[in-house]
Structure formats: structure tokens, C-alpha cells
Amino acid sequence: MSTIEKELPAARTKGLQEELVELRRHLHQHPELSWGEYETSRLLIYRLRDLGLEVVTGLAQTGFYVDIDSGRPGPSIAWRADMDALPIQDDKQVSYASRVEGISHMCGHDVHTTIAYGIAKKLNEQKDAFRGRIRVFWQPAEEQQPSGSPDMIKDGVLDGIDAVYGMHCDPHTECGKISMRPGAETAAFDAFQFEIDSGSTQHSARPHKGPDAMWVGHQLVQHIYQFAGRITNALEPTVVSVCMFKGGNALNVIPRKVEIGGTIRTVSDSKREMMRAHLRKTAQSLGALHEVKISTDFGLGAPAVMNNEVMYEFAKNEIITRYGKDAFCGREQSMGAEDFAFYTVERPCLFIRVGTSSGPETSYPLHSSLFDVDERMLEPTSELAAHILMRHTQNDLKI
């Protein structure tokens, strides 16, 4: 009998909050990087099957889902969770800190995975409280490019699904509060990389003898930082950041090659293409001017997360009606990226931010080596999400 199977009888005897805390802490101690979430999947699949649910596996390598069917006519909707950790050392001094050197759940995907399990369990116990079918699915590789959602879509996770919900931890919002916004929730994201090749190295005493890749690289960076505010509307958010500049390994040698990389974050697909085109033209012009070869490469990127306005108003009303006005707060658009965006291209969607902060220890930002959450939010969030999903099936939303 496996360790997982030995744990199951104990899990059955616990209350849901206790079970969710135990599950989240186990996942926190045993994080797995993108595309390698095999033990995470195995644990969740065992627990879901123990609930009597049929698990569909084989999506995007480690992805899977369960369908909870009410047996009555109605819509088919879904809830998405992500599972992967980050290549960050866990510096927290807690009993459940990561046991894997240099890998940790510093973006809360262990929490997302755990809450999705709680949702599935609650829905399975309340089939008489909704209509239609609710799919809960877990995806790999939210943190990496290429990310997991395109493969999940290709492998059929949205087949027959009318709408999709998802969530993310929010350490900047008080535990017990939910924040959302209609329309663009995150920015579209593109990674760019340039390689400047001058053809040869040069002595630092005689830079005039040939092209200087380092000098051209610095000019390119200056152009990158200046043009966004001159070719885009200042009222439409656009952020361009250079995050990598590599070149040379000696103090008296001008290197042959320089590499520059960073990100573009915008709010629309048309703006994404305009920014990419301008970067290409800038690189080509500088290359021709200084007689160097500049190659340009763009990563796969992601569109913006677009929240369906009908689903937003519906969920906002449900939160306020059930928990009061103080439970809901609006939010500014994030310029971060999230691969939930790929689902929003295919179906009406809503992405919810759940507050996890209750003091200094739970207020560190996402991707901090000290990130943690107030675990008291686990069962209430599972209950809230299950309630929204069930109410969605009971209402004829025109989405």
C-alpha cells in the first residue's frame, strides 16, 4: 500500500478545513516545477478517486479533470487550478517549508490545487443543489513558457464547456475579501530577445577598428525605454522592461556578441503587434546604421485575461448577497501575466482574486522567498467557489 493510500482513511475522518490544511502543507513541502508535477497529480488523483469521482488523465502530460454531473439538464461550466512551483528557495521558518532545495510554491499554486480539491468534494456532496455539469481541472506549467493551458485546450479540457472560472491568491488583499474587475484583468505579455553580432571582438584601446556590439546594445536599450511613451496612448497601459544584458568576459575586450532580453506588457492584441513591429524595426535600423547583425526573437507570450462582464456582475452580486458588501472590493488592472488568458480567448471566463493576508507573515508579495498565506481561507474559499458555480448553473446567464 502506498503512502498516499495510507493517508486516505485519516483524511476521511477529518473536517474539510483540517483536511485542506494537511493537503496544502503536503504540497508546499513537496513542490514540483512546470511540466514535472507527477507526484502532485498522483496525490490529487488518488484523493479524487477516493471520493468516488472518475478522473480523466493524460492532458498536457500531468493535467487531469473530474466532471461532477447533477443528472439534470443545464449548462456545463468549469473551474481551473494550476499546480506548478517556482525555482525559488523557500526561506520561511515554518514546519511545512519546502523540502526541495531551490524549489517552492511561492505563487500559491499549492493553495489553488487544494481549493480545487475542496470545490470538487463539496460539489460531489451537493449534486441536488445544481443543474448540468461542473468540471474541475488541474493544469501544469502556468509559470513557464510555453505554458500549460494551450496544451490543455488542445487536449480537450474545454470540450463541451460553456464558461470557465479560476482564481489566484492575493497577498495584497485582506483574508476574507474577494477582488475582481470586469474586462481586462491582466496585461498581455510578450518576451523579447535580441542578439547583436559585430562579427569579431575588438581591443578596448581601439574601438574605432570595428563595430562595437556593446555600444550598439546600449543604444538599443535606450530606444526600448524611450519609444513606449511616444508611440502609445498614455491612457492605455504599456510597460516595457529590459531584464537581461549579457556581453563580454574581459575588461579590455569589446565582445563580439551581446544579448538583450525583457518583456512587453500591453492591454490588447493590436497593441502587442504594434510593439513587436516597432522593436523589430528599431533593431533593423540600428543594425544597418552600425553594420552589425541584430537577430530578434519573441517568445510565445500570452493574451490579456479578459473577464466576462456578465459573469463578473453575477459573481459580485453573489459575493455581496452571501457575505456582505465588505467581502467584495474592486481592483486595478494588473500588468502581470497569467496563462488563464488562453481560456478567456476560447470561452467566457472570470478570474477571481482571493485575499490571503492577515499580517506581516502573509503579506509578502507573490514570488517572494517568504511568501505564505493565511490558511483559514482554504475552506471558505472552497465553499464560496462551489456556491458561485452551483448558482451559475441555476441562473440563465446570457454570456
Q: How far is CA 392 from the centre of its chain?
A: 24
Per-residue model confidence (pLDDT) at position 11? 56
> CA–CA distance from 149 to each of 41, 104, 340 (Å)?
16, 21, 7
Domain boundaries, the chain: 3-186+304-394, 188-298
Per-residue model confidence (pLDDT) at position 167? 98
What are the per-10-residue average pLDDT scores of the chain (399 residues)?
A: 48 83 98 98 98 98 98 98 98 98 98 98 97 98 95 98 98 96 94 97 96 97 88 85 96 98 89 92 97 94 95 98 94 93 98 98 98 98 98 93
Q: How many residues does the chain have?
A: 399
CB 341 within 8 A of CB 383: no
Per DSSP, the three-state class of 376 is helix
Q: Are strands 328-330 and 178-180 parallel, antiparallel or unpaired?
A: parallel
Per-residue model confidence (pLDDT) at position 7? 53
Summarised one tens digit per residue, pLDDT across range 35-58 is: 999 999 999 999 999 999 999 999
Q: Which residues 6+ apart lie within 8 Å of 35 measured at CB?
A: 61, 62, 84, 140, 141, 144, 148
Q: Are strands 163-174 and 293-298 parallel, antiparallel or unpaired?
A: unpaired
Packed helices 16-29 and 38-50: angle between N→C axes, nearest 10 degrees: 160
Of 175, 177, 179, which is closest to residue 324 (Cα–Cα)? 177
3-state DSSP helix/strand/coil percent for the chain, to nearest 5? 40, 25, 35
Per-residue model confidence (pLDDT) at position 237? 86
Q: 3-186+304-394 and 188-298 share one CATH topology?
A: no
Q: What distance in Å separates the CA atoms of residue 351 and residue 118, rounded to the nearest whole number?
A: 18
Per-residue model confidence (pLDDT) at position 2? 45
CATH architecture of 3-186+304-394: 3-Layer(aba) Sandwich (3.40)
Per-residue model confidence (pLDDT) at position 227? 83
Cβ-based burial of 222 (10 A; exposed 0-12, middle 13-18, buried ≥19)? exposed
Per-residue model confidence (pLDDT) at position 3? 45
Q: Which residues 6+ apart lie within 8 Å of 345 measured at CB?
A: 303, 306
Cell numbers at 286, concatenated: 540600428
Q: What distance in Å separates the CA atoms of residue 190 and residue 228, rounded to the nearest whole number?
A: 14
Q: What distance in Å separates the CA atoms of residue 240 and residue 245, rounded to the nearest whole number?
A: 15
Summarised one tens digit per residue, pLDDT across range 350-371 is: 999 999 999 999 999 999 999 9
Q: What distance in Å separates the CA atoms of residue 350 and residue 117, rounded to the nearest whole number?
A: 19
Helix spans in the chain (H) = 3-13, 16-29, 38-50, 109-125, 149-154, 213-231, 269-290, 309-323, 341-346, 378-394
Per-residue model confidence (pLDDT) at position 14? 73
CATH architecture of 188-298: 2-Layer Sandwich (3.30)
